[in-house]
Amino acid sequence: MKLPKLILTDIDGVWTDGGMYYDQSGNEWKKFNTSDSAGVLFCKKAGIPVGIITGENTEIVKRRAEKLKINILHQGISDKLTTAKKICQELHISLDDVAYIGDDIGDLELLVHVGISAAPNNAPQYIKNKVDFVTSKNGGEGAFREFVETILGDEFIMNFLNQQ
Q: What DSSP letter does each residue of 102-133 carry, written as one string? A: --SHHHHHHHTTSSEEEE-TTS-HHHHTTSSE
Q: What DSSP letter does each residue of 62-109 carry, written as one string? A: HHHHHHTT--EEE-S-S-HHHHHHHHHHHHT--GGGEEEE--SHHHHH
Residue 18 confidence (pLDDT) above 80: yes
Q: What is the pLDDT of residues 80-99, one digit of tens each?
A: 999 999 999 999 999 999 99
Q: Do 18 and 140 contact (CB within 8 A), yes or no?
A: yes
Q: Is the overall model pTM greater than 0.95, yes or no?
A: no
